[in-house]
Chains A and B, each alone.
Chain A
Amino acid sequence: MYITGWTAALAAAGAVPAAFLHERTFAWLWVLGTVLLACLDALMAPRPTGMGVRRVVPKAVRLSESTTTVLEVANLGRRRARGAVRDAWQPSAGTRGERHRMSIAPGETARLRTPMTPTRRGDRAADLVTLRLEGPLRLAGRQRSVEAPGVLRVLPEFASRRHLPSRLARLREIDGQTAVQLKGAGSEFDSLRSYVIGDDVRAIDWRASARRADVLVKTYRPERDRRVMIVLDTSRLSAARVGDAPRLDASIEATLLLTALATKAGDRVQVSAFDRVERARALGTGGPAVMPALADALASVEPALVEPDWPAVARLVQNRMSQRALVVLLTTLDSSAVDGGILDAVAAIASKHAVVVASVDDPELAVLEAGREDVHDHYAAAAAARTALEQDAVATRVRELGADVVHATPDEIAPAVADRYLALKASGRL
């Protein structure tokens, strides 16, 4: 049961007769009468068991984008259902105006739309649907909550897709380098075509020209169908907040950009989110289905507060990748990572594959290191310098093992990883 504002107003309206009657007993009687009337009204309200609800939830939405969820409320009873309904979602689903008025004739269904802009990645769950059915006097009514499950998957934002056009242009430039028909590392034979003035004479295929009575030049294209494996570290260090999001979110952005780029370049990408066990993976798909599948797989990945199992990562890569591939480890290069055995794992993987270790830097460290305000700041700068030195030492050791190291701030890690991929591709080290 619930009461409406009319009940309170009616109770307050008793002040007018009370002003003439001067009686406290009257005040009691008036208010008690109002409450009794409200109870009676609630008894006369239609029963909530005569109502049915159904949620029509969109499958997925990208973070920071808006969508609309629909709540269908059916009146299965014999009386008109007047009142209100609340379509409750967890706060990070970002619903606006989840309370709706309703007035549904018997046998009819109302479709109530609730706009939502989720504020966090992952699966956002709906809570109960609460129905309020008013009595005929509108003083009070019956209230019941109904379980109506619904889940909205919030995909990663992929804010780094704004970097994609420029990187694709670079990719075409690498393609374009073959227009000068220079055979080089990272390119493979594509086709023969007629010589046009301006072509490099060194690219002329004399043997083919002899056969065709025309001057033909060889064209090359960048290598295709290479394998790329991206391992996302979802362990303890990925939970740390860098800027205003966890480190993992920056890694996910980098994964998405690299996957989009590599797929466009014709390479095959596998993604694995790993700490002590594999949390999510996307593999075996190619073409346009890759990105939605990957976004879906990464949507619900959350950092786990455990140490990463680096030997297991090495085994995972060796099992999945039979051919030489590019393995990108998106992790954190930290002195504690060395104790976890990252060096051995990198050494094991680098013996067979090209390895890029990408680490998300904390922009706060740079701020700390530049602080010169007072003696506190000096010590903070020293601590930041020490941390940077340690990270540099770890990076140096990783490089010595034959792996590439990329480190950048959260906003720049995605383009930095993409650029390193392009550089590797251009130099034919894939």
Chain B
Amino acid sequence: MTATAPLHRPPAREGAVRAARRRPLAIVAALLFLLMVAALVWTARPEDYTALSTGNSTPDGTRAVAQILRAQGVDVRQTDSMAGARIEDPARTTLVIADGAALAQYQLDTLADYPGDIALLRPTQATLDALGTGLRVGASLDTGVAAAQCDDVDALAAGSVAVLDQSLSAAQGSTATLCFQNGDGEHAYAVVEDGSRRITVLASWPTITNEHLDAHGHAALGLRMLGRHETVVWYVVDPFDPTSLTWDGATSNGSPPPTEVEARPDFLPPSAGPVAFVLALAVGVAAVWRGRRFGRLVKEPLPVEVRASEATRGRARLYRRAGASGRATAALRARTAMRIGHRLGVPRSADRASLVDAIARAAERDPRDVDAILYGPAPTSDAQMMTIVDQLDTLEREVHRP
């Protein structure tokens, strides 16, 4: 029987070339799709949505001003961490601290020690205090356009700017030059000559963003404020950055800062990242290995199976819901009578009296008792029903006793 049975062989599959010839459109579509995906992946850059970041081309970014500065020959470099600033020559560098939220005290201390020029965009009060500017920052309520009204060259060149979002006022004993006063007597811009360094503060920071740069004298003010030196180091404050500012000659012994400052908050060796990355990719490969099914799942045609007692259980629930204690008791009484009668050999056709007599004799009980148990009035409550059932059980045990 085995010799005659034929061998089953896998059918030959259509060759790839022939399949392609049969459906050229599908192949072209697939290729185009692949090309498109590849192009998208190739050109995609991580989108920058940080406000005041030079990579951000949305309305609140500063990509425009950075591009113009670069076109003018200024080297604009944005750093992700303060330690990454690594300013080589503070005298020829403008350090931009943008969006001055939540700098820690030790970071402010290094900022105060920094000898070069600093430009503050959207400053916080803590930063202004740490740098000893004697300025107060507050919300600008009058957002109208204000003229320079001061003797700062840059401000005069700009002419007039709008006082947006924030404004500055001078505290007692401040040496700051405040410009662009609005109707409330508050200012958009200030310059503090602090010994060898110059601190410029632009409280009306939206003027330098992509959205407002082309209005009034915003572009002029921004470019003159930031373009004084050939290098701009731009730092947007990151609350998760624990490092402090680095510049050439910052350390007390005058040695240059380390070229590679690793200020990781963890204690893993430096190779942990790439190793974890390889292992993660290997997990993906392992998923493909385990996920490939060794042949299809096999179906099992299952028969319909219902418990035979389901109908009886359903009837029990109906009795219970309807509170049909009378009907339930009648069934149990009839069943008990039938069983006892069967056991005692009372014919089915026997009448009530003869059955009761036979049972009373067998159980050695008063026939009236037996009659009351088997044919008494129907119960009206569950408790009565349970009592009667108990009596029925007792009676049956007494009959079955010998």
* A residues in contact (CB < 8 Å) with B: 2-5, 7-8, 11-12, 14-15, 18-24, 26-28, 30-31, 34-35, 48-49, 51-56, 72, 74, 76, 84, 86, 88-92, 99, 127-132, 143-148, 239-242, 246-247, 302-303, 305, 362, 364-365, 368-369, 372, 375-376, 378-389, 392, 396
Contacts and interface: CB of A to CB of B under 8 A. Distances in A.
A11 B271 contact: no
Contacts of A19: 271, 274-275
Contacts of B328: 378-379, 382-383
Given A12-B282, A91-B298, A22 B271 contact: yes
A28 B334 CA distance: 83
Given A147-B8, A362-B308, 14 more contacts: A15-B275, A18-B277, A18-B278, A19-B271, A27-B274, A49-B10, A51-B9, A55-B5, A56-B1, A56-B2, A88-B296, A127-B298, A128-B296, A376-B316
B335 interface: yes
Nearest to B281: A31
24 contacts: A15-B282, A18-B278, A22-B270, A24-B277, A31-B281, A48-B10, A53-B8, A56-B1, A86-B295, A90-B300, A127-B296, A143-B292, A146-B9, A239-B303, A240-B307, A365-B309, A378-B385, A378-B389, A382-B327, A383-B315, A383-B316, A385-B331, A387-B315, A396-B348
Nearest to B342: A392
Contacts of A148: 8
A51 B303 contact: no
B282 A14 contact: yes
Contacts of A382: 316, 319, 327-329, 331-332
A82 to B, nearest CB: 16
Contacts of B306: 239-241
A383 B312 contact: yes
A53 B295 CA distance: 15
Counting from the closest, the 10 A-B pairs by CB-CB distance are A130-B295, A382-B328, A52-B7, A385-B335, A240-B308, A12-B282, A383-B316, A8-B286, A11-B282, A380-B316
Contact of B331 (A23, A89, A92, A389): A389
Contacts of A7: 285, 289
A3 B287 CA distance: 10
Contacts of B305: 239-241, 246
Residue of A7, A26, A380, A388 with highest tally of chain B CB at under 10 A: A380
A23 B273 CA distance: 9
A247 B304 CA distance: 12
A148 B305 CA distance: 31
Interface residues of B, number: 65
B298 A89 contact: yes
Contacts of A3: 285, 288-289, 292
A273 B255 CA distance: 102
A86 B305 CA distance: 31
A407 to B, nearest CB: 13
Most chain-A CB neighbours within 10 Å: which of B7, B286, B292, B329?
A: B7
Contact of A385 (B2, B332, B385, B390): B332
Contacts of B317: 379
B331 A383 contact: yes
B128 to A, nearest CB: 41
Nearest to A95: B298
A240 B310 CA distance: 9
Q: Is the interface of B mostly helix, strand, loop or mixed?
A: helix
B37 interface: no
B240 interface: no
Contacts of A91: 298, 300
A8 B10 contact: no
Contact of A18 (B13, B274, B382, B393): B274
B279 interface: yes
Interface of B: 1-2, 5-13, 270-271, 273-275, 277-279, 281-282, 284-286, 288-289, 292, 294-296, 298-301, 303-313, 315-317, 319-320, 327-329, 331-332, 334-335, 338, 348, 382, 385-386, 389-390, 393
A51 B7 CA distance: 9
A246 B303 contact: yes
Nearest to B318: A383
Nearest to A25: B274
Contacts of B315: 383, 386-387
Nearest to A48: B10
A1 to B, nearest CB: 8
Interface centre among A12, A128, A130, A383, by most B CB within 10 Å?
A383
Given A56-B2, A148-B8, A368-B309, A379 B285 contact: no
Contacts of A246: 303, 305
Contacts of B386: 375, 378
Contacts of A76: 7, 9
B291 to A, nearest CB: 10
A74 B303 contact: no
Contacts of A131: 10
Given A49-B9, A240-B308, A379-B320, A8 B393 contact: no
Nearest to B8: A148
Contacts of A383: 312-313, 315-316, 319, 328, 331
Contact of B298 (A35, A90, A143, A385): A90
A329 to B, nearest CB: 18
Nearest to A238: B308
Nearest to A130: B295
Contacts of A303: 303-304
A80 B6 CA distance: 22
Given A11-B285, A385-B332, A387-B315, A84 B294 contact: yes
Contact of B8 (A14, A54, A86, A376): A54
A24 B7 contact: no
Given A56-B2, A302-B303, A387 B8 contact: no
Contact of A8 (B282, B304, B327, B348): B282
Contacts of B312: 365, 368, 380, 383-384, 387
A378 B386 CA distance: 7
B389 to A, nearest CB: 6
B309 to A, nearest CB: 4
Contacts of A53: 7-9
A12 B279 contact: yes
A129 to B, nearest CB: 7
A52 B10 CA distance: 7
A336 to B, nearest CB: 9
A96 to B, nearest CB: 15
